[in-house]
């Protein structure tokens, strides 16, 4: 039975010049090595199921071999910008384990699993189209939360 998962979508709001200027002043609006549209070039995908066999609404994507290397390098660079000093010295120790695409919701994010091969620790990067309401929410959470919130946009 097909059940309706979403009844209404939240509209996407553009990032205004004043918000863009604020983000630039705080080092969050920078030229990034890969864009959402680059990841949309995936060649195909396989559905991901949870341990009980339920569809998670995530797809494990795969890319043409000639594009995969460039995409993975760009994602590793994105990781170093967000979680390191931005240098290339750590790149040989990073592995892109998966690039997943969510088919649910209105933001349709990509979830990238980046693993440090030295200690086997991993994190997830999420890449979405910029939406002012989400950016305001992330910045507010960063300002008020005891936890550090890492995010970047390119406008």
Q: Which two structure tokens, joined as six digits, stand for 105?
A: 């919701």
Q: Domain of 62?
A: 34-130
pLDDT at residue 6 greater than cutoff 60:
no
How many distinct structural domains can be found in the chain? Answer: 1
pLDDT single digits (tens) 12-66: 899 999 999 999 999 999 999 999 999 999 999 999 999 999 999 999 999 999 9
Per-residue pLDDT, 18: 97
- Identify the burial level of 112 via C-beta atoms within 10 angstroms of its C-beta, where 0-12 means exposed, 13-18 middle and 19 or more buried: buried
Query: 111 lies in a domain?
Result: yes
The answer to whether residue 49 sits within a structural domain is yes
Task: Give the global pTM.
Answer: 0.88
Q: Could you tell me the two tokens for 87?
A: 């240098």
Q: Quick one: pLDDT at residue 107?
A: 87
Sorted by sequence, the CB contacts under 8 Å of residue 57 that are 6+ apart come out as 5, 102, 103, 104
């Amino acid at each position: 039975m097909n059940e309706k998962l979403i009844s209404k979508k939240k509209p996407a709001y553009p990032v205004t010049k004043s918000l863009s200027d604020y983000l630039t002043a705080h080092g969050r609006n920078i030229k990034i090595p890969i864009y959402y549209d680059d990841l949309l070039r995936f060649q195909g995908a396989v559905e991901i199921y949870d341990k009980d066999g339920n569809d998670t609404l995530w797809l494990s994507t795969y890319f043409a071999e000639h594009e995969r290397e460039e995409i993975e390098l760009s994602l590793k660079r994105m990781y170093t910008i967000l979680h390191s000093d931005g240098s290339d010295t750590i790149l040989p120790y990073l592995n892109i384990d998966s690039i997943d695409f969510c088919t649910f919701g209105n933001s349709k994010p990509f979830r990238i699993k980046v693993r440090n091969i030295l200690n086997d620790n991993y994190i997830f990067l999420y890449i979405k189209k910029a939406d002012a309401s989400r950016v305001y929410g992330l910045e507010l959470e960063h300002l008020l939360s005891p936890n550090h919130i890492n995010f970047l946009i390119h406008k």
